[in-house]
Amino acid sequence: MSRFFSKKDIKEERKKKSLWTRIKDVALMDVEVMVRGLDTTSIEQLEQLLLESDFGVRPSLGIVDTLTAEGKKGKLKTENDLRDLFRREMKAVFAQADGGREIILAPSGPTVVMAVGVNGVGKTTTIAKLAHFFQTRGKKVLLGAGDTFRAGAIEQLELWAGRLGCEIIKQQAGSDPAAVAFDAVSAAESRGVDVLILDTAGRLHTQGGLMDELAKVHKVVGKRLEGAPHEVLLVLDATLGQNSTNQARAFHKMLGVTGLVLAKFDGTSKAGCAVAIAEELKLPIKLVGTGEKLENLEPFDVDAYVDKIFS
Ligand SMILES: Nc1nc2c(ncn2[C@@H]2O[C@H](COP(=O)(O)OP(=O)(O)O)[C@@H](O)[C@H]2O)c(=O)[nH]1
Ligand SMILES: [Mg+2]
């Protein structure tokens, strides 16, 4: 029958249906299928569906394996059984992450948050949103303009600081980012700041020299204030899906990333990318960016995320 439709038609039709509807189309064709167990074609289709939605190879195959096994045992009789299985498996992936999803705060004195990541992923915007997040919770925030490399980066952060009504520590473009970080930590202490958020220049994980520079910033901050940086947030572009995992591994190895931010979460149709990233890196996704406005930063809520996919 499908030959009456062009490939494009089928693609368009697929996009309109939610992922859960598409999973049900394959797995729940009729009650008999559920009782008998999935046939090979359905299993392959289901795997394909999960892979296309960027759940990653291991999680996708793992879920389908469990599904097959549970089906054989006769444990999947209704749509709800199937939904529960998917939810359970997805949540288990997030449970493997090291560390909690709360932003780590210093026990006393200023908390230092360092935002890192490649160019254009949304670091600076995330910093502004995070500053807003803390301000609305009554915290005094200071920004550190540690991207001294890209033209206009300091001005961009200054613009945000103006809007937020918070102070900013900066030096001239081209200056040493470690020196800016040192000054910023000193200012945070002397001015009684609750949270200092340091911007950094974007770099590719393959750029050894620039990665070393970032490690130096991290070290200088730690020397200036014991226990700092308390939080190293790696900002990833959700629209790039699992392509971000190589970047993340390199940053983690160099700096000890404490949490992930998935920026541009509003712009991805690849529902599963958070699962793939969490599974690959075993790092907690702490925040998601859901737009370009200051309010568009939310704590990552695993239950809500999983429920949304499977509803
Ligand atoms: N839709 C959307 N756009 C975002 C989000 N976060 C950042 N952006 C946009 O992504 C672009 C790059 O952001 P920027 O913060 O300058 O990235 P940086 O180079 O990593 O500092 C800008 O146009 C931002 O407005 C988000 O959560 N959603
Ligand atoms: Mg930036």
User: Which residue's alpha carbon is nearest to atom 17 within ligand 1?
Assistant: 122
Q: Is residue 103 part of a domain?
A: no
Atom of ligand 1 nearest to the CA of 289: 27
264 & 138 share domain: yes
Give yes or no for residue 194 having a pLDDT over 90: yes
138 & 267 share domain: yes
Q: Give strand pairing partners of 168.
A: 143
86 & 196 share domain: no
203 & 79 share domain: no
Nearest to 251 by CA among 233, 237, 266, 265: 233
148 & 286 share domain: yes
Q: Is residue 128 part of a domain?
A: yes
| pLDDT of amino acid 262 | 93
pTM: 0.88
Q: Is residue 54 part of a domain?
A: yes
Please provide the average confidence, as pLDDT, over all residues in the chain.
88
For residue 209, count other CB atoms closer than 10 A to its CB. 7
Better-scored residue on pLDDT, 259 or 269? 259
Question: Total structural domains in the chain?
Answer: 2
* Least confident piece of the model among 47-51, 105-109, 194-198: 47-51
43 & 153 share domain: no
Among the bound ligands, the one closest to the CA of 203: 1
| pLDDT of amino acid 2 | 39
Residue ending a domain, among 95, 126, 159, is 95
**Residue list, ligand 1 pocket, CB within 6 Å:** 117, 119-125, 202, 263-264, 266-267, 289-292, 296
| pLDDT of amino acid 272 | 84
Three-class SS of 169-235: ECCCCCCCHHHHHHHHHHHHHHCCCCEEEECCCCCCCCCHHHHHHHHHHHHHHHHHCCCCCCEEEEE
User: Which residue's alpha carbon is nearest to atom 26 within ligand 1?
Assistant: 264
Phi then psi for 15, rounded to 5 degrees?
A: -60, -35
124 & 243 share domain: yes
| CATH for 159 | 3.40.50.300
Give yes or no for residue 32 having a pLDDT over 70: no
Q: How far is the centre of ligand 1, averaged over its atoms, from the C-alpha of 171 (Å)?
A: 23
Sorting pLDDT into bands at 50, 70 and 90, what band is 44?
Answer: confident
Q: How far is the centre of ligand 1, averaged over its atoms, from the C-alpha of 125 (Å)?
A: 5
Better-scored residue on pLDDT, 6 or 142? 142
| CATH for 18 | 1.20.120.140
Give yes or no for residue 144 having a pLDDT over 90: yes
Q: How far is the centre of ligand 2, averaged over its atoms, from the C-alpha of 131 (Å)?
A: 15
- Cβ contact 101:299 at 8 Å: yes
How large is the average pLDDT for residues 12-27? 73
Better-scored residue on pLDDT, 75 or 289? 289
How large is the average pLDDT for residues 280-303? 94
Better-scored residue on pLDDT, 77 or 128? 128
User: Which residue's alpha carbon is nearest to atom 6 within ligand 1?
Assistant: 122
Residue ending a domain, among 31, 65, 95, is 95
Q: Which helix (H) or strand (E) holds 299?
A: strand 297-299
User: Which residue's alpha carbon is nearest to atom 13 within ligand 1?
Assistant: 122
Percent of the chain predicted with pLDDT > 70? 91
d(Cα 73, Cα 94) in Å, to the nearest integer? 26
124 & 90 share domain: no
How large is the average pLDDT for residues 65-78? 84
Q: Is residue 102 part of a domain?
A: no
160 & 200 share domain: yes
Q: Is residue 255 part of a domain?
A: yes
Atom of ligand 1 nearest to the CA of 147: 21
Give yes or no for residue 231 having a pLDDT over 60: yes
- Cβ contact 209:203 at 8 Å: no
Q: Is residue 105 part of a domain?
A: no
Q: How far is the centre of ligand 1, averaged over its atoms, from the C-alpha of 115 (Å)?
A: 13
Q: How far is the centre of ligand 2, averaged over its atoms, from the C-alpha of 120 (Å)?
A: 7
**Which of 235, 292, 296 maximizes ligand 1 atoms within 8 Å of its Cβ, making it the mutation to test the pocket?**
292
Sorting pLDDT into bands at 50, 70 and 90, what band is 5?
Answer: low
61 & 147 share domain: no
Q: Is residue 104 part of a domain?
A: no
Residue ranges making up the domain that contains 28:
2-95
146 & 279 share domain: yes
Cα 158 to Cα 61, 66, 167: the distances in Å are 47, 51, 9
Atom of ligand 1 nearest to the CA of 265: 27
Which amino acid would we find at residue 7? K
- Cβ contact 203:211 at 8 Å: yes
263 & 297 share domain: yes
| pLDDT of amino acid 7 | 62
* CB neighbour list of residue 51: distance below 8 Å, 6 or more residues apart: 57, 60
Percent of the chain predicted with pLDDT > 90? 55
